A and B are shown apart, each in its own frame.
Chain A
Amino acid sequence: DAKTTQPNSMESNEEEPVHLPCNHSTISGTDYIHWYRQLPSQGPEYVIHGLTSNVNNRMASLAIAEDRKSSTLILHRATLRDAAVYYCIPAEGGSNYKLTFGKGTLLTVNP
């Protein structure tokens, strides 16, 4: 499995954009990059995933570097509800049902 490096914590202000980085330099060519988040005292929640191209959905955008060794999750306007631990998870495309969660990045959103 690819190893990931994420900041332990980040802070943002409400209604400002947030860029959450992830390094995955050992990622293989078939690994998708998944992002999940976990709000306090809840189970994780799917955010977004992608392979090579940048991806957008109603929750966030995912920017993937051209060499795929890093990616950035972008929350366009942070809200208090976005305060959570964010996990970046490379997972093999053929068996991407086996997710390995690291420690993630704790995002604090200030009012």
Chain B
Amino acid sequence: NAGVTQTPKFRVLKTGQSMTLLCAQDMNHEYMYWYRQDPGMGLRLIHYSVGEGTTAKGEVPDGYNVSRLKKQNFLLGLESAAPSQTSVYFCASSMDGVEQYFGPGTRLTVT
């Protein structure tokens, strides 16, 4: 099993550009999450999903949108990137919400 994979691993955007981060899991997990981690800080929850077709806001949802059209995929979109969105983005999945499995992260820089 590949576990949780994230695409791309690195990306540089200019202010105002848009992009989509893809998270995929092959463990048939119901729950999926997107977090961001700024330097020297803990992770903060952006959005999460408790099942296919559902999404909900986390702690810092502004400036991001998500979709969960297929159970195995959770997409995070930035419609108009801002320098404040420079961060490392982690995706996670879980069968029941207790034990979360994290991906390797996407390092995003917005100039």
Contacts and interface: CB of A to CB of B under 8 A. Distances in A.
Interface of A: 32, 34, 36, 42-46, 49, 87, 95-104
A43 B102 contact: yes
Contact of A96 (B4, B44, B58, B97): B97
B62 interface: no
A101 B100 contact: no
Closest 10 CB pairs of A and B: A97-B97, A43-B102, A101-B42, A101-B43, A46-B99, A43-B90, A102-B42, A44-B102, A97-B31, A103-B42
Interface of B: 4, 31, 33, 35, 40-45, 48, 50, 58-59, 90, 92, 94, 97-105
Given A97-B50, A97-B100, 14 more contacts: A34-B98, A42-B104, A43-B102, A43-B104, A43-B105, A49-B99, A96-B97, A97-B31, A97-B97, A98-B58, A99-B43, A101-B43, A103-B40, A103-B42
A41 to B, nearest CB: 8
B42 A49 contact: no
B100 A46 contact: yes
Contact of B48 (A34, A97, A101, A103): A97
Given A97-B33, A97-B97, A44 B48 contact: no
